[in-house]
């Protein structure tokens, strides 16, 4: 009885191994290769910025220079717009026209614009367009509260850059406007940094 | 067992949230605008001065002039004044600021017994502006100017007060201006002024001309 059970087990084992060989002989592999590339989300300054001020036609006392810096060697364009104003005075006003281009492959959606004033300045008021989006700020002296500068960043239609959508390959024109207020101090240096935040 | 379930759920939630945050950060970006602004300054400064009077006045009166360090305030101390006393104060000013500035009549502050300032009269005469590189000797109403009862005289004897430029007028950075100020003691000076000292401050006033 015991040898019968052993024989049955061996037969089953042999039969199973035979089936396995057959399966291995008739099996094949189909390989599906898939290559996926992710989109890119890249907004950059392109072209040449154009700077002008309100005393060019008269004494030309104040000087405004704007240029792009931090070149993006991967996708082209520049990451920073630098605006330098020298010899400013109350009533002085400078404009800088810049161009943004979507050099990525996904639509860029501007979701925010923020200003960070330099030490000694604070945001006294935020100016909004008709849609309630920011187009500028009044920067006040931190100690005295006296208005020093007005800074505006708008698109060419004088509305906020926020909520604007830049499709791949297309451009968006913007204007930075700096106005020196009556309370601005002689021999003083002011600075600010504006972040344009975007997502897909 | 129940604790294990809770902690497992918490860990799964934490992992899910961190993954979501990573994805958001990766698909949001920004570019920036940097602005720098250096402000100008206005400064009209006295760079040279004279106090001239007649030989007769010099005999009895001492006139002392001191210019402040910033070149904005001239202090004139005079002794032994009497009716008809006079002095011509000459100033060469320069626009040492970075902006065009208006030359304006100076301000006078009298320091002395009450009411004495009413007995002084002043008149100003302005000349220029002259280019920055004009030396003092080449200023037509400055070098070798003599004093005469009619006013400061040029070396050729002509009175300087004929071709003045009435203020305010603009001067560009670096340009110079000559100002002659006539200070005169009126005849009606009261007798109790005797023995008193009067100090006069002359302050330059500047104003942006843009």
Residue B38 lies in a domain: no
Q: Count of CB atoms within 10 A of residue B11's CB?
A: 10
Parallel, antiparallel or unpaired: strands B73-78 and B63-67: antiparallel
Report d(CA A14, CA B195) in Å as an integer.
143
Cross-chain CB nearest to A193 (options B34, B208, B210): B34
Q: Quick one: which of B126, B119, B54 has its CA closest to B92?
A: B126
Residues B63 and B162 in one domain: yes
Q: Per residue of chain B (210 residues), what is the pLDDT tens digit? A: 555 777 777 777 666 665 555 555 557 899 999 999 999 998 899 999 988 888 888 888 888 899 999 888 889 888 888 888 888 888 999 999 999 998 888 888 888 777 777 888 888 888 888 999 888 777 777 877 777 666 666 555 555 555 677 888 889 999 999 888 888 888 777 777 777 777 888 888 877 777
Residues B187 and B108 in one domain: yes
Residue B176 lies in a domain: yes
Residue B35 lies in a domain: no
- DSSP type of residue B84: T
Question: Is this model's pTM higher than 0.80 or not?
Answer: no
Q: Quick one: which of A197, A191, A195 has its CA closest to A83?
A: A191
The whole-number pLDDT of residue A177 equals 96
The whole-number pLDDT of residue B150 equals 63
At B25, list the tokens.
């950060």
Cross-chain CB nearest to B28 (options A90, A180, A197): A197
Residues B24 and B54 in one domain: no
Q: Quick one: which of B103, B102, B76 has its CA closest to B89?
A: B76
**A188 vs chain B: nearest CA distance in angstroms?**
5
Q: Quick one: which of B141, B183, B167, B153 has its CA closest to B44?
A: B167
Residues B20 and B90 in one domain: no
Q: Which of A80-84, A129-133, A146-150, B137-141 is the least confident region?
A: B137-141
Residue B153 lies in a domain: yes
CB contact under 8 A, A193 and B210: no
Residues B166 and B195 in one domain: yes
Residues B17 and B52 in one domain: no
Q: Count of CB atoms within 10 A of residue A174's CB?
A: 21
Count the domains in chain B.
2
Chain B residues within 8 angstroms (CB to CB) of chain A: 27-42, 98-100, 172, 208, 210
Parallel, antiparallel or unpaired: strands A78-88 and B28-39: parallel
Residues B9 and B79 in one domain: no
CB contact under 8 A, B37 and A88: yes
Residues B11 and B65 in one domain: no
The whole-number pLDDT of residue B203 equals 86
Residue B132 lies in a domain: yes
Residues B19 and B102 in one domain: no
pLDDT at A23 over 90: no
The whole-number pLDDT of residue B175 equals 93
Q: Quick one: which of B122, B205, B130, B121 has its CA closest to B168?
A: B205
Residue B175 lies in a domain: yes
CB contact under 8 A, A189 and B30: no
Residues B97 and B192 in one domain: yes
CB contact under 8 A, B210 and A58: yes
- ipTM here: 0.82
Domain that holds residue B180: 44-208
Residue of B nearest to A192 (CA): B35
Q: Quick one: which of B109, B64, B95 has its CA closest to B177?
A: B95
What 3-state class would DSSP assign to B209?
coil
CB contact under 8 A, A186 and B42: yes
Report d(CA A192, CA A119) in Å as an integer.
9
Residues B113 and B174 in one domain: yes
R_g of chain A, CA atoms, integer Å: 33
Residues B86 and B161 in one domain: yes
Residue B39 lies in a domain: no
Residue B79 lies in a domain: yes
Task: Give which of A59, A107, A178 to mutate to test B binding, by max B Cβ within 10 Å.
Answer: A59
Positive or negative, the CA dihedral A40, A41, A44, A47 is positive
Cross-chain CB nearest to B41 (options A42, A45, A187): A187
Say if residues B59 and B118 touch (Cβ distance below 8 Å): no
Across A20-24, A83-87, B24-28, the highest mean pLDDT is recorded for A83-87
The whole-number pLDDT of residue B152 equals 62
Q: Which residue has the tokens 């000797």?
A: B137
In percent, the amount of chain A with pLDDT more than 70 equals 94
At A55, list the tokens.
């005393």
């Amino acid at each position: 009885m015991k040898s019968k059970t052993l024989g049955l087990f061996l037969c089953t084992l042999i039969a199973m191994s035979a089936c396995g060989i057959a399966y291995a002989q008739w099996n094949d592999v189909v390989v599906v290769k898939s290559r996926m590339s992710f989109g890119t989300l890249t907004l950059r300054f392109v072209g040449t910025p154009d700077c002008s001020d309100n005393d060019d036609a008269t004494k030309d006392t104040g000087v405004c220079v704007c240029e792009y810096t931090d070149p993006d060697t991967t996708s082209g364009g520049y990451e920073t717009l630098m605006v330098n104003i020298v010899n400013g005075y109350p009533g002085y006003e400078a404009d800088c026209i810049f161009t943004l281009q979507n050099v990525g492959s996904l639509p860029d959606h501007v979701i925010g614009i923020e200003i960070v004033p330099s030490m000694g300045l604070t945001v006294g008021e935020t100016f909004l367009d008709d849609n309630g989006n920011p187009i500028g700020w009044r920067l006040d002296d931190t100690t005295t509260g006296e208005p020093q500068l007005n800074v505006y960043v708008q698109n060419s239609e004088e509305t906020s850059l926020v909520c604007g959508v830049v499709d791949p390959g297309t451009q968006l024109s913007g204007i930075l406007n700096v106005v020196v207020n009556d309370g601005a101090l002689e021999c003083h240096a002011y600075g600010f940094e504006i972040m344009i935040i975007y997502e897909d | 067992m129940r604790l294990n379930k809770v902690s497992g759920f918490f860990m799964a939630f934490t992992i899910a949230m961190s993954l979501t945050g990573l994805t958001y950060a990766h698909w949001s970006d920004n570019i920036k605008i940097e602005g720098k602004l250096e402000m100008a300054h206005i400064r009209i400064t006295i760079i040279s001065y004279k106090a001239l009077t007649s030989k007769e006045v010099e005999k009895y009166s001492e006139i002392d002039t001191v210019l402040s360090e910033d070149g904005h305030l001239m202090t004139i101390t005079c002794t032994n004044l009497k009716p008809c006393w006079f002095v011509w104060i000459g100033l060469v000013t320069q626009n040492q600021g970075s902006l065009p500035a208006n030359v304006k009549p100076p301000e006078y502050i009298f320091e002395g017994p009450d009411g004495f300032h009413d007995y002084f009269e002043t008149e100003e005469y302005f000349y220029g502006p002259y280019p920055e590189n004009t030396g003092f000797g080449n200023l037509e109403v400055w070098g070798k100017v003599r004093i005469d009862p009619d006013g400061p005289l040029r070396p050729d004897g002509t009175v300087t007060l004929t071709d003045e430029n009435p203020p305010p007028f603009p001067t560009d950075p670096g340009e110079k201006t000559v100002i002659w100020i006539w200070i005169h003691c009126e005849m009606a000076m009261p007798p109790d002024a005797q023995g008193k000292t009067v100090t006069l401050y002359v302050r330059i006033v500047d104003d942006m001309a843009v």
